[in-house]
Structure 1
């Protein structure tokens, strides 16, 4: 009897372990636990390519590649700087900034051997189209024109005509010139008077109108995806269908679950369909989800058998976001290496003559070039995404060549930022922790410092939107000492971006000092 019991016990344990292994070998939602919003995806052969929004960051409009829809790697950007000269807001000049603006939702398309990525910018009031024959190596050719077409979708029709469908609530359609240099005169007209109607009755007050348009042509019909936020409800997917791009369009609700919305359709080489969408997830930002799609009576039906967003997907498991989306950097460079890996973006346009990875081998040098009174106006802060559910960023700095008034360290960048760094005051060096919770920067701690090489760390917890961060310093890189107060992170609309790790150095009294960063290491434990 005992033998039989233990036999069945072993079988049960074996089956449970096997089932768990099968589950862990499948993809989990969210597919990317990091700020990758406004995604647009295409498939060319067996490869998927995705563009996203990074707004005020430089370089901008990131391009990512995957072969399984789950594991993504940054492969490039459409531009280095949105506008190289003449725009104070992009350069953090004269007290101006473009936080939360810059370039917004993009549309990626492939047509007759050419890749197209279009976007628009509130900062400049322009629409941009970037083209290349080689999406993985470039170069990208830029075309820009006015007006700015908000949340547009680029459409290549079968008859060779090229359109953009854009707007919010009231959606409009324009035909573009053959060379994409602008809008054909007299073609701008309304195609859907109120695209929000499927979720929000006429005359309702509050909520957000349908926006984030993405258009697809499947089996001869056009499908338009939008996001809306009905008053008292949750973010929702709206789908419209038409036989012609100009309509008439018929609309219905596509998905209402967990606030997962805004995106579009993608198919796999074996004929399966998914909706790619994102979810607002607190301080880490807007994070991508995949949801299975089946076709019923010519409509894409989003969700599992219950019409919900599943947490497990019949796709390969994620191998993690490191190093494809974020990565550590020892700042060592071989002869043909890029100066900065693609995971890095500058806060606004950089001043290239004031940073270097060659001035001192194995270090990132940030040199001050002007006087700044506030951290958020300081130039040349080098950033990359935070990731969830937990992660930490660590750096080491040689502060021996900083000048009086200089402040260098590591930050969690958002409007309500947190900082741990080294401040030089006369001949004195001090560890300083600043906590800007509630948009009110407060010096939460100062600790005297008597050496030139220091180690700094920030640790984030985004689990279940806990959204807190703790700050540490070390004199030897081994023993970590907490400093200051816990940062309560908050996703704020003025920045419109998830928290980012950042390395910075700015001057408050005199210019020309520099800080040498030995490494940046990111960990998801």
Structure 2
């Protein structure tokens, strides 16, 4: 009798504790609330790898890893710098904002990982390969011209193709060693890939990504009907040479550009992204089912809010992370979450010269945050976030300006200026083409604490700036910044630690930490 009672009790407890899939905590869209555009994705066994675009930031072409399609961490980059030019070095008044390297394509073939990208800056196509995607080393093959938004494809017969273009899509066969194209193989693949979305098109079909499923070829593209939204179109063929037939595959919330990924248990998803204001272009996943050999995207043609995948554990420390700049001997100088704005000068920074600090040194004269060397950046994240730092300004020189920036064309800075023999805390607004020092106050101590807070909820896209003299009590400074995503930079806002000289080189500052949080203080909310 006792055993029966125990069995019944266990059964009742299991019924009470059971949750249906709808009740369980599930993943939600957006997949990553941060600037991770132009994704390309593969699965190797139980592990997923994703590449993305980082434009003028270095190191470049980030490689991210996941075991569940939801929780991602940075594991590598394809290059430290793309090329050594004045544009990329911020030399002679030149810069590479909004250019650098664009949409990459990641593939796995014959036990080798390939990541290809292109650059309008250099007019070159780049193909990186490695046996060990998480540790490298990478081998590089590059050739001209620059194939816009291309997809690289290894076919079953051993041929290697590249498809690229805008509206009129072309295909070319590559040499087996990937050192260039096979002469005479270039041809038009699809005359008007935008056609499934109508004839009144604002942005011609681009962002090509090619897949082969059950012997059929599927080509994904994005297009944008005038007066409409970013739209997914898919073309299908039994032979890579055609004929191709196309369909409008998804038109919801402007979520578009990406491709297909499957899970080890046989489910299918499409990875896409959405323009989401100042935070940048953010990734989404939509479920895919197959009907009559066509991938059908979304739920009743819509992008769902929840996904039958494990819940996100957050972006910290996978894509962004706080850093106290404490390094052991075998530690890398910088975690992968950091990227330099343009090519860095490694002689002018250190995390070793003063234990537990990032030192940024001035080696030349600059008059703008846009031309300053060695601005060290991380992504901002939504729906809200804050970035804070502590800075020792003891060794600044006359004319130096150092602190924390929210970097885009319309930037905001909070920092310390050394002018006329005195230091002051300032907030500079780059809301217009003429930056304005909105507020300043004297600084009579060697350490100051700085903070910027971003509110991206419902595309509010505003930021507020703060300072503290003790690291505990924060005071607002300056004006609210209306953040704006512009094509001049072509990326979401970045937190940046900066130091540049306007009068004389040789000064330096020490940053004690950078802390990023996924919340903002009540004092900055209306």
Question: Which residue in the other structure is 2:393 paired with?
Answer: 399
Aligned counterparts of 1:104 and 1:347: Cα–Cα separation in 2: 15
- For 2:235, what is the secondary structure of its paired residue? strand
Could you say which residue in structure 1 is the equivalent of 2:210? Answer: 215
Distance in 2 (CA, whole Å) between partners of 1:370 and 1:245 is 54
Aligned structure 1 segments of 4 or more residues deviating by more than 6 angstroms? 15-21
8 Å CA contact 1:472–1:483 kept in 2: the answer is yes
Equivalence for 1:249: 244
> What is the distance in 2 between the residues matched to 1:469 and 1:246?
51
Q: What residue number does 1:139 align with? A: 137
Match of 2:408 in 1: 414
What is the Cα deviation at residue 142 of structure 1? 1.1
Residue 6 of structure 1 aligns with which residue?
none
Q: Could you say which residue in structure 1 is the equivalent of 2:87?
A: 89
TM-superposed CA distance for 1:21, in Å, is: 9.8
Matches within 5 A, 1:298-309: 298-304=293-299, 306-309=300-303
1:287, distance to aligned residue in structure 2 (A): 0.2
Aligned length: 506
Describe the shift of the 1:310–1:479 C-alpha distance in structure 2 as closer, same or farther (beyond 3 A): same
Q: CA shift at 1:18, angstroms?
A: 8.1
Contact 1:24–1:317 under 8 Å retained in 2: no
State the alpha-carbon separation in 2 of the partners of residues 353 and 372 from structure 1: 17
Question: Normalised by the size of structure 1, how large is the TM-score?
Answer: 0.95
- Cα distance in 1 for partners of 2:239, 2:426 equals 61
3-state SS in 1 of match to 2:347:
helix
Alignment deviations for residues 253-295 of structure 1 (CA, whole Å, 9 cap, x no partner) = 0000000000000000000000000000000000000000000
Counterparts of residues 458-497 of structure 1 (less than 5 Å):
458-497=452-491
1:101-116 paired onto structure 2 within 5 Å: 101-116=99-114
Q: Deviations over 1:266-325 (max 9, x none)?
A: 000000000000000000000000000000000000011x21000000000000000000
Residue in 2 that maps onto 1:37: 37
Match of 1:429 in 2: 423
Gaps of 5+ in 1: 1-14
Mark the runs of 5 or more structure 2 residues left unpaired by the alignment.
Answer: 1-14, 520-526
Partner of 1:121: 119
Counting only pairs closer than 5 Å after superposition, residues 433-452 of structure 1 correspond to structure 2 as 433-452=427-446
Matched residues in 2 for 1:127 and 1:312: separation? 37
| Residue of structure 2 aligned with 1:296, choices 291, 306, 324 | 291
Deviation string, structure 1 residues 398-440 (Cα, Å, up to 9, x no partner): 0000100000000000000000000001320001101111443
Query: Which position in structure 2 is the counterpart of 1:513?
Result: 507
Is residue 179 from structure 1 mapped to residue 177 from structure 2 by the alignment?
yes
> In the aligned structure 1, how far is the partner of 2:48 from the partner of 2:237?
26
The answer for the alignment partner of 1:7 in structure 2 is none
**Equivalent of 1:188, from 186, 193, 215?**
186
- Are positions 1:344 and 2:338 aligned together? yes
Where 1:174 maps in the other structure, the secondary structure is strand
Write out per-residue CA displacement over residues 309-360 of structure 1, whole angstroms, 9 at most, x where no aligned residue.
Answer: 0000000000000000000000000111100000000000000100000010
The alignment partner of 1:377 has SS state of coil
Partner residue, 1:169: 167
Give the equivalent residue in structure 2 for 1:276: 271
Correspondence 1:80 to 2:75:
no
RMSD: 1.5
Question: How far apart in 2 are the matches of 1:302 and 1:16?
Answer: 35
Quote how far apart the aligned CAs of 1:231 are: 0.5
TM-score, with structure 2 as normaliser: 0.95
